[in-house]
Amino acid sequence: MEWTKEQRYRTMDEVSEEEIQALAKRVNQCPWRQSFHIQPVTGLLNDPNGFSYFNGEYHLFYQWFPIGPVHGLKHWYHTKSKDLVHWEDVGMGIEPSNEFDCHGAYSGSGIEHDGKLYFMYTGNTRDADWNRHPYQCLAVMSPDGSIVKMDEPVIADVPSGYTDHFRDPKVWKNGDIFYAVIGAQRENETGSVVLFQSKDLVDWKFMGEVKTGLGEEFGYMWECPDYFELYGQGVLLFSPQGLKAEGDHYQNIYQSGYVVGSAIDLENIELKHGVFHELDRGFDFYAPQTTVDHQGRRILVGWMGLPELDYPTDKNGWAHCLTLPRELTVKEGKLIQQPVDELKLLRGEKVETNLMVESETICLDNFKGDVYELLAEFSDSTAEEFGLELRVGEYEKTIIKYDRVAKKLVFDRTDSGESFAKEFGTVRKCTVEAEEFSFRIFVDVSSIEVFVNDGEEVFTGRIFPGENSNGIRIFSRGGETNVQVVKWDIK
Ligand code: FRU
């Protein structure tokens, strides 16, 4: 079905309870509903927003188009958790409602101030000729959970030199001063990030563009910037649009990644840094956002999806989910991403084995499932390649392997199930040189997240296998490999 502009910009007041109920029914009949990932109750989810620890709980919102699997009038949907694992659906968080956000409460961030949680987000508006004008808006959540919007935007104008692609404020505090990075497009249609400063989150002063070493030829728009410091180093994370595929890099429609350097020089607004790294080497990952919690951990959540692609769940009236939360650390100029420790709370019944695999594929009979955590450690290999096949059915399999000859990790979803986004390829690879490999893998009904060697690389992807594709196989080709495997059912 084609969605008209009118259909995409209906407000929730114009949608009847019956329509929502009928949609929820279709959504709940979908065989690919996830079991331990945050997913939309109905409609489309995209960027994580307002991620924060406040008043003893984690709050995590997502960009939400409630009434179908397309991008339209965006809301913030609110979820919360005490442990980053079990999430409660709270309901509507921020609803577009006034002249400053009438065409969408777009992405933004949360920060605690004076005992309340402040959200700074982009109000998207369009005029009669469909020209865009963005406002940066503020909403405040009290400890009782009620959210009130401020009447006026806190940044009403785009600084000169930039287009109306100006959005996604991410706020942090340094001493007594608040700073915000905002994704911007220069008038020459190249991507950048600008910096604002405030004492009270209400009055914001434009400081200038963040000078980076990436120059003016690194995509046409940088969405969802995030800046933070880890062990004294500065990390700028953003989602550039318009990078060309290059070898194993930039294979998805849009990218997200980061640079690491010395802490940002706030006087000269400059970040000296190393090369740009992609955060995830898989297929479905975009617009991540981080927060820091009461234990001082830096935690990242991403959108497990991409703009402008059709997904197999669309026909059931919903699309996308968020990734699992990952704890970030930094090592030799690169981020290390590990699933937060609390995810062990999900571990149920356990099976394990230790074996030498030789020149064939071994079916592990007592290893089966569609929702589980699996840890596979490979060592002492003389093989050309070794790895795993998951969600194996008569005609289906999802492959995670290491090609020892090419020294590449490979994630192959060619035969994973119902295919989609094939024009962007069905295999992702990245070069890693190591003798031993550990794959810590989280499999949900329609996704897989692979953390390689304690988070040095991560591969994330949606897969849409048949419900009987539950097999797990191990292989070592052209030689033998020692493998230790542990699998936990997820409760
Ligand atoms: C990224 C993005 C943001 C914007 C939001 C709208 O996916 O395009 O730049 O704020 O989604 O939903």
Distance CA 169, CA 109 (A): 6
Residues 397 and 267 in one domain: no
Residues 306 and 406 in one domain: no
Domain that holds residue 447: 343-490
Return the pLDDT at 364: 75
Q: Please state whether beta strands 286-292 and 277-278 pair in parallel, antiparallel, or not at all (unpaired).
A: unpaired
List beta partners, residue 124: 134
Average pLDDT over residues 79-98: 98
Of 308, 339, 370, which residue sits at a domain end? Answer: 339
Please name which of 112, 167, 64 lies closest in space to residue 294, comparing C-alpha atoms: 112
Torsion of CA 399, 404, 406, 408, to 10 degrees: 50
47 is catalytic: yes
Number of domains in the chain: 2
Of 339, 374, 406, which residue sits at a domain end? Answer: 339
CA distances from 475 to 350, 455, 471 (A): 21, 23, 13
Please name which of 161, 302, 295 lies closest in space to residue 238, comparing C-alpha atoms: 302
Distance CA 332, CA 29 (A): 47
CA of 221 to the centre of ligand 1 (A): 11
Q: Residues 190-214: pLDDT tens digits?
A: 999 999 999 999 999 999 999 999 9
Residues 155 and 249 in one domain: yes
Return the pLDDT at 250: 98
Residues 65 and 155 in one domain: yes
Distance CA 306, CA 447 (A): 14
Q: How confident is the model at residue 479 (pLDDT cuts 50, 70, 90)?
A: very high
CA of 107 to the centre of ligand 1 (A): 6
Return the residue whose CA atom lies nearest to atom 8 of ligand 1.
223
pLDDT at 365 over 90: no
Residue 428: CATH number of its domain: 2.60.120.560
Return the pLDDT at 92: 98
Residues 226 and 363 in one domain: no
**Token match 């409660």: residue?**
88
**Token match 């405030």: residue?**
198
H or E stretch at 258: strand 257-262
State the closest ligand 1 atom to the C-alpha of 168, by its place in the atom list counted from 1: 10
270 alpha carbon, distance to own chain's centre: 26
State the closest ligand 1 atom to the C-alpha of 307, by its place in the atom list counted from 1: 7
Residues 362 and 253 in one domain: no
Residues 417 and 471 in one domain: yes
First-last CA distance in the chain = 37
Residues 241 and 389 in one domain: no
Q: Residues 372-391: pLDDT tens digits?
A: 999 999 999 999 999 999 99
List beta partners, residue 373: 442, 488
Is residue 240 within 8 A of residue 278, CB to CB? The reply is: no
**Token match 């992609």: residue?**
278
Which residues are CB-neighbours of 437 under 8 A, at least 6 positions away?
Answer: 377, 378, 379, 402, 452, 453
Residue 237: CATH number of its domain: 2.115.10.20
Tokens representing residue 317 in the block = 């009236």
Q: Residues 219-261: pLDDT tens digits?
A: 999 999 999 999 999 999 999 999 999 999 999 999 999 999 9
CA of 46 to the centre of ligand 1 (A): 7
Residues 117 and 198 in one domain: yes
Question: Ligand 1 pocket, 73 CB below 6 A?
Answer: no
Q: Residues 420-455: pLDDT tens digits?
A: 999 999 999 999 999 999 999 999 999 999 999 999
pLDDT at 361 over 80: no
- The pTM of this model reads 0.98
pLDDT at 359 over 90: no
Return the pLDDT at 460: 98
